[in-house]
Structure 1
Amino acid sequence: MAAGFKTAEPLEYHRSFLKENCRPDGRELLQFRTTTINIGSIGTADGSALVKLGNTTVICGVKAELANPSVEAPGKGFIVPNVDLPPLCSSQFRPGPPGERAQAASHFVADVIESSQVLQTEDLCIERGKLCWSLYCDLICLDYDGNVLDACVLVLLAALKNATLPEVSVDAETGAPKVDSEKRQSLKIVRHPVAASFCVFDRSILLADPTAEEERLATARVTLVTDEEGRLCSVHKPGGTSLSGEKLQDLIGRAAARQKEIHKLIDKVIKSIV
C-alpha cells in the first residue's frame, strides 16, 4: 500500500513524513547520510579514492602527465577535472557525449578547485615556461541517488591527498625530462574544501543531502563549499525558491560543521593505511 502511494503521489508521500519532522529514509531534516571513503582504489592511477554518500557512489582517479605550461601562466601547472554520469549509475542518464548535468558538475568542480585553492598550481611547475604537471582527474559516478556534487568534491579531495608524483628533473644539455619513478612525493594540499548541499521542499522546508527523489520534488537546491577556516569558497544555486539571509547564514554554519566532520573522516582514513 505504501509503495503504491509513493509511486502515485510522491509529493504527498514525502509531505506525510515531513509533517512529523522526518524523512522516508529515517533521517532528520538536516541530517546527512552515512559517508564512507576508501583511498587508493585504482592501482594504476597516481592517486585515487572512492566515496559513498548514502547510495550515491563516485570514484576518482588522478593521472599525472608532463606538459608545457601555458604562455599566460608559465610558472603554473594544470588540474583538469571531468565528471562522468554514465547510464550505469542511473536510468535518468543516457549514453553518448557528456550531458548537461555532467558538464555542469565538471564546471562546478573546476570552480571549487580554483576558488578554494585546494593546492597551488605553482607547485605543479617543474621548470618555468618549459615543463609542468597536468593532473587529469576523472570522476565517475557508479551509483546515483542524489547530491552528486558533494560526493564529487569529497572524492576529488581524497584522491588528491592520496596522489603522489615521481621526481622529475630536466637534462641541462638536451632539455629532456628525466623521471625517477622510484622517488615519489605527495601533493601539498593547501585547503580542504567540502561541499554541503541542501534542497528546499514546498518552498520553505530545508533538507540536507537530498536523495534523487527529493531533488526531483524540490523547489530549489543550494550547494555551499567551505574550508577548514570556515571560509565560504563557493555557492551554487541554480534558480528556484529564494532563501532569506537568515536561512542562508544558518546553512553556511551547517556547511562549516559538515566540513569539520568530513576533514576528520579523511584524516582518519589516511592514518589507518599509513
Structure 2
Amino acid sequence: MANGSPTAPGISFPRQTFAKLTPGPFLHAHLKQQEPIRASGRSPEDFRKPNINTGSLTHSNGSAVVRVGDTAIVCGVRAEILLASDIPHPPRDDLHEDDLVEDLGLLVPNLELSTGCSPAHLPGSAPGTLAQSLSYRILSLINASNLVRPSDLAVLYTEPQTEDDTPAEEASKVTKAYWTLYIDILCIALDGNPFDAAWAAVIAALQNTLLPKAWWDPDREAVLCSPLAADARQLQLNDVPIASTFAVFSTASPLKRRNEFDSWILADPDSFEEDLCKESLTIVVASKKASCGGILRLEKTGGSVIGKVSMQQCVRMAEDRWSEWKAVMGG
C-alpha cells in the first residue's frame, strides 16, 4: 500500500473445503473445462477399476469380494436342500422351466449395509430403505436373467422298474428335492454406485459356487450328500450379465429455459456425484447372443436429459464395461 502498511493476507481454502461448502459449483467448475474432468480425476466416461477375489469364505459354497474404487462388497452363497414334499404349492404343469427358479424361490438374495460403511450409516443412524431397495432390484434381475437352469438345482431319483414295465420302457426320473441358494451380500464400504458392485459380487460368487453331490436314499427317505470335495460340481450359469450405471449432472433450474443449461453423463458415479445428480440410468448387458442385441434391462429414474443419442452412447460404454468385467471374472 502507499502508506507502507502491510497487505492483508488473501483468503484461501483447501479444495476439500470448497467441495463441502459448494459441492454443485465445485463439480461444475471441473466439468466445464475444455476437457471435462471430474473431482475424482476421472473423465466423465471413465469407470473405476474392478477387483475380484473369490473363494475367501471357506464356510460358504461360493463367495466373492468385489471392490470398485472405494465401494467394497462381500457375497457368500449358502446351499440348502428343499424337499419337493415340503413345497406347499407344487409347480404348475404349464409353467415354463425358466420360470421355475422364480416360482419356487430357489435363489434368495439379501443385502445389508454394514455399520460405518459410509458417513450416512454410522452407529445410531436411522435405518434407511437403500438396502431393501437394492435387495429387491437384485432379486428382480436374478429372475429376469434366468441365471441358473432348474435342472442344475434338482436332485433326481430314478425309480426302479417294476415287473409290469416292459424292457423297452425308460426308467422314470422323479425330482425329490432342489438346491436353494441363499445369497448373502454385505456392503462393507460404500462410495457410490452400490448396485453395480453388488450385482458383480453375486455373479462372481455364483460362478465360484460348488454344490455337493446329492442323491435320494429310498430306505431313509432323505437326501444324502457326499462330504468329499472331489464329488462336488461347479454351478453353471447361463450367462454373465453385467450392470453399468450412469448419472447425469445438470445445471438446469426452474428459471432456465430448456436449452440454457449444461449437462454431463457420468459413468459409475461415486457418492459425491450421486448426491448432486437427479437422473440415473442402469444398463444390464448380457452376452451378444442374448435378445435385444445383448441388452437385458434398462432402468431409468428422474430427469429428461438422456435422449436417443445419449442412450446409444451409454449402451456403447456399457458394452465395453461388460467386456472389462468378463475379463476380470475369467469367463
- Asked if residue 38 in structure 1 is aligned to residue 53 in structure 2, the reply is yes
Deviation at 1:99, TM superposition (A): 3.4
In structure 1, the residue matched to 2:214 is: 168
Deviation at 1:256, TM superposition (A): 1.3
- After TM superposition, the structure 1 = structure 2 runs for residues 240-251 of structure 1, keeping only pairs within 5 Å, are 240-251=303-314
Deviation at 1:237, TM superposition (A): 2.1
What TM-score do the two structures reach when normalised by structure 2?
0.76
Unaligned segments of structure 2, at least 5 residues: 1-12, 157-173, 253-262
Q: Decide whether the 8 Å contact of 2:176 with 2:216 is kept in 1.
A: no
Deviation at 1:87, TM superposition (A): 2.3
- After TM superposition, the structure 1 = structure 2 runs for residues 255-274 of structure 1, keeping only pairs within 5 Å, are 255-267=318-330
- Between Structure 1 and Structure 2, whose CA radius of gyration is higher? 2
- After TM superposition, the structure 1 = structure 2 runs for residues 28-107 of structure 1, keeping only pairs within 5 Å, are 28-69=43-84, 70=87, 71-73=89-91, 76=100, 78-93=106-121, 99-107=128-136
After alignment, is 206-215 or 246-255 more displaced?
246-255
Aligned equivalents of 2:274, 2:199: Cα separation in 1? 18
SS of structure 2 residue aligned to 1:140: strand
In structure 2, the residue matched to 1:192 is: 240
Deviation at 1:156, TM superposition (A): 0.6
* Correspondent of 2:24 among 2, 5, 11: 11
Q: Decide whether the 8 Å contact of 1:165 with 1:187 is kept in 2.
A: yes
After alignment, is 66-75 or 248-257 more displaced?
66-75
In structure 1, the residue matched to 2:164 is: none
**What fraction of aligned residue pairs are identical, expressed as a percent?**
31
SS of structure 2 residue aligned to 1:237: strand
Aligned equivalents of 2:233, 2:175: Cα separation in 1? 22
Q: Decide whether the 8 Å contact of 1:51 with 1:151 is kept in 2.
A: yes
In the alignment of these two chains, the number of paired residues is 268
Unaligned segments of structure 1, at least 5 residues: 269-274
Deviation at 1:107, TM superposition (A): 1.1
After alignment, is 80-89 or 187-196 more displaced?
80-89
In structure 2, the residue matched to 1:236 is: 299
SS of structure 2 residue aligned to 1:207: strand
Deviation at 1:100, TM superposition (A): 1.4
- Asked if residue 112 in structure 1 is aligned to residue 141 in structure 2, the reply is yes
Letter in 2 for 1:231: G
After alignment, is 201-210 or 135-144 more displaced?
201-210
Q: Decide whether the 8 Å contact of 1:199 with 1:207 is kept in 2.
A: yes
Q: Decide whether the 8 Å contact of 1:153 with 1:194 is kept in 2.
A: yes
Aligned equivalents of 1:14, 1:163: Cα separation in 2? 42
Deviation at 1:239, TM superposition (A): 2.8
In structure 2, the residue matched to 1:212 is: 271
Letter in 2 for 1:250: Q
Q: Decide whether the 8 Å contact of 1:85 with 1:98 is kept in 2.
A: no
Letter in 2 for 1:84: E
Letter in 2 for 1:145: D
Q: Decide whether the 8 Å contact of 2:246 with 2:269 is kept in 1.
A: yes
Aligned equivalents of 1:169, 1:3: Cα separation in 2? 60
Deviation at 1:4, TM superposition (A): 1.8
Deviation at 1:97, TM superposition (A): 9.6
What TM-score do the two structures reach when normalised by structure 1?
0.91
Letter in 1 for 2:320: A
- CA deviations 1:85-107 (Å, max 9, x no partner) are 12221121366997311111111
In structure 2, the residue matched to 1:179 is: 225
Letter in 1 for 2:114: P
After alignment, is 175-184 or 55-64 more displaced?
175-184
- CA deviations 1:12-46 (Å, max 9, x no partner) are 11111111211111111010012110001111111
Letter in 2 for 1:132: Y
Q: Decide whether the 8 Å contact of 1:59 with 1:142 is kept in 2.
A: yes
- Asked if residue 223 in structure 1 is aligned to residue 277 in structure 2, the reply is no
Quick one: structure 1 residues 3 and 138, their matched pair in 2 at CA, closer, same or farther if it must change by over 3 Å? Answer: same
Aligned equivalents of 1:148, 1:89: Cα separation in 2? 11
Aligned equivalents of 1:186, 1:88: Cα separation in 2? 35
Question: After the TM superposition, which parts of structure 1 deviate over 4 Å for at least 4 consecutive aligned residues?
Answer: 74-77, 94-98
After alignment, is 136-145 or 97-106 more displaced?
97-106
Aligned equivalents of 1:87, 1:236: Cα separation in 2? 28
Aligned equivalents of 1:156, 1:138: Cα separation in 2? 9
